[in-house]
Amino acid sequence: MDRRDFVESCAIGAGALAATLATGAWAAQAQARSYGRVLLTDDTGRPIKASSLKAQVNYVFHYPFEATPVFLLDLGKAAQPVQLTTRDKQTYQWPGGVGPRRSLVAFSAICAHKLVYPTRELSFISFRKGGVANPQTPSKGNDLIHCCADHSQYDPARGAQVLAGPAEQPLCAILLEHDPRTDQLTATGTLGGELFDDFFRKYEMKLSMEMGSGVRRTVADRSMVRELEQFCRNPVRC
């Protein structure tokens, strides 16, 4: 690299850093990020088979951190690639669903507005089969992820694009790989606007009381998949 190229590279890097510092955690880059390969398993520890997932049922696993829940869905229909935009106007290409019918998708279960998420006691956010009957926010379509806390609605067939409510960006996508030989599923990374730093700042004390000192520990090797009703005692329907 010659002197001119070096100076230009430094200027570009400094500008990007300044923009990141100015906009805070929202400015996390939208390109794919690897957090390690994690095999999805059932509650016995055996690799879960994609063909065993029931269509349009909420499944939950944790990735990339042990404290951050993810929705796993078989939409029952193909999910095609789509271009999306984060809150700070960064574009990215969501690759669509995986599996034999390209119907398997996964998204962070942390709402992009107030960071509402499923806990073992309560969940205000979930996938809803069909429409949502709510006088405050009529359903913008069928088969959406709906947050009862602020009535944001996300379309999982289009990369969790926001259709209604105050959320300003899609849910962060969790990248999946499907092995057609074994029918196994592996989480490999994230794509889109991450909110993990915001999530930990807001809930770190609560999470530390529940999990101890390993709140920010990344998931290693395997993550258990359960239906939302098995994971959470009180899934809220609004």
CA distance 69 to 107: 9
pTM over 0.75: yes
Query: Residue 2: what pLDDT?
Result: 40
CA distance 103 to 30: 23
CA-based Rg of the chain, rounded to a whole angstrom?
A: 18
* CATH fold of the domain at 31-231: Rieske Iron-sulfur Protein (2.102.10)
Confidence of residue 156 (pLDDT cuts 50, 70, 90): very high
**Sequence spans of domains, the chain:** 31-231
Higher-confidence position of 16 and 117: 117
Q: What confidence tens digit (pLDDT) does each residue in 128-137 have?
A: 987 666 656 6
Strand partners, 226: 60
- What is the side-by-side strand order in the sheet with 161-164? 125-128, 144-147, 153-155, 161-164
| 46, 51, 55, 56 alpha-carbon torsion, rounded to 10° | 40
Q: What confidence tens digit (pLDDT) does each residue in 56-101 have?
A: 999 999 999 999 999 999 999 999 999 999 999 999 999 999 999 9
CA distance 122 to 214: 22
Does the pLDDT at position 22 exceed 80?
no
Query: Residue 140: what pLDDT?
Result: 65
Question: Kind and range of the H or E element at 34?
Answer: strand 33-41
